[in-house]
Amino acid sequence: MAKSAAKASSLFRAIEKLQGDGPWGHILDAGTGARSLSWIAELPSTRWTAVTAQPSLAREAREAVAPSLREHDRVLVGNWVDDTLLADERFDTVILDYFIGAIDAFAPYAQENLLRHMAERTRGTLYVIGLEPYVPVLTNDEVGGFIGDLGRLRDACMLLARERPYREYPAAWVGMQLQGLGLSVTHAKHYPIRYRQRFLDSQLEVCRSRLERFSDPGLAQAMGEHIEAIRERGLMLIEKHDGLLFGKDYVIRCVWDRVS
């Protein structure tokens, strides 16, 4: 799910505050993109490794940090379903930036196994940024109802274009899985989200860009008209409520439980 630059920045700043004066060491950005890697490249790390399953995202991320790229920094293309991916390496700091939800498009139903991979590759601190699920939630509140409708529209368009939509996981589930792997959750906090027109436009662009891949042209046309109706409804609500306050992001910090 696309985030505004300001919102993403606030979550990254939260991680920096949690890290404090502790060394970042060798950082792993497990599901990289230009946004997260641009932030990581600014941190006082000894080096960083960034991984994505999409070659296009790897190119974008590499281009975003090209001026600050150091000799041992690297951007890799790989899928974490491959058990051998970086299997012999351990990282001082591991960053999972909306990784758990997004990974469903590349490794469906593999979240538990992928979290195990992340735990195995962490020798210091693991940070998780995530989004509480909202698409299955039904609410009579007009803002929440609209956000849910928008999410269902996006997912429907992706499915009709023969793609897999993201599937978000709640913070409680993530924390429970990591604790079961021997990590201690030392921090877990939610951050309210206020969506604005940039978010609305980005989600509807996901929908529009899939229409040409629908197998039924009539359905594609009808969906295009529905997309425009949703846009008008969203703009009205954004103006009425000064943005759409609904849902929560979360940040989790974990370290190894040395006692156990």
The pLDDT tens digits for 158-179 are 999 999 888 899 999 999 999 9
Give domain status of residue 101, yes or no. yes
Give domain status of residue 194, yes or no. yes
CA–CA gap between residue 33 and residue 203 (Å, rounded): 18
Give domain status of residue 260, yes or no. no
* Numbers of helices and strands, H then E, in the chain: 9, 7
Domain count, the chain: 1
Give domain status of residue 119, yes or no. yes
Give domain status of residue 135, yes or no. yes
CB count in 10 Å sphere of residue 228:
12
Give domain status of residue 62, yes or no. yes
What is the pLDDT, as a whole number, of residue 134?
A: 84
CA 232 to chain centre: 27
CB count in 10 Å sphere of residue 185:
18
Nearest to 208 by CA among 234, 195, 227: 227
* Residues contacting 165, CB < 8 A, separation 6+: 104, 105, 154, 155, 158, 159
CB contact at 8 A, 57 and 84: no
The whole domain housing 54 covers 5-255
CB contact at 8 A, 111 and 169: yes
What is the pLDDT, as a whole number, of residue 25?
A: 98
CA–CA gap between residue 144 and residue 25 (Å, rounded): 41
CA–CA gap between residue 161 and residue 186 (Å, rounded): 41
Q: Which residues pair with 248 in a beta bridge?
A: 192
Q: What is the CATH number of the domain that holds 84?
A: 3.40.50.150
Give 75's DSSP letter.
Answer: E
* Ranges of the chain whose pLDDT falls below 70: 1-8, 136, 258-260
Give domain status of residue 229, yes or no. yes
Question: How far from each other are the two terminal CA atoms of the chain, in whole angstroms?
Answer: 36
Residue 111: its H or E element: helix 111-120
CA–CA gap between residue 136 and residue 158 (Å, rounded): 16
Give domain status of residue 87, yes or no. yes
Q: What is the pLDDT of residues 70-111, one digit of tens each?
A: 999 999 999 998 989 999 999 999 999 999 988 887 788 889
- 3-state DSSP assignment of residue 104: helix
Note the pTM of the prediction, 2 decimals: 0.90
